[in-house]
Amino acid sequence: MQNNNLKDKTYLGQRSYQFALMVISFIDKLPRQDMTCQIIARQLLRSATSVGANIVEAQAGSTKRDFTNFYTHALKSANESVFWLRLLKDSKKAPALEYEKPIDEAMQLAKLLGASILTLKGRR
């Protein structure tokens, strides 16, 4: 059982890292001269990289409560990333970009984190 738990943690950490790289690549394609895009891009970069950073912190946590709290912060950051990505998409500031893949990945990470939090709290 311990080994499966470790694999799940590693998988989520790797997946969140890949998500951060995906968002960095996405942001690099946004119009640099558009102030609105750049402000939203900064917010998106913070939230997207925060997902993985909080997962790493959770894994270093000393208690189950620490672990759960960091996963909760990661979940909030994933949801915030969805918000910023949808805002960019719906504002049509950069209509030629592929929004669906990063939005979908952020939503999948949020679902995985939510399920993990429920399990940690014994509600699943």
- Cβ atoms of 57 and 12 within 8 Å: the answer is no
Q: Residues in the chain, how many?
A: 124
pLDDT tens for 40-59 read 999 999 999 999 999 999 98
CATH number of 2-120: 1.20.1440.60
Domain ranges of the chain: 2-120
Residue with tokens 């939090």: 117
pLDDT band at 124 (very low <50, low <70, confident <90, very high): low
C-alpha distance from residue 55 to each of 24, 43, 104 (Å)? 18, 19, 19
- Smallest Cα–Cα separation from 38: which of 83, 88, 102? 88
pLDDT tens for 65-120 read 999 999 999 999 999 999 999 999 999 988 788 999 999 999 999 999 999 999 98
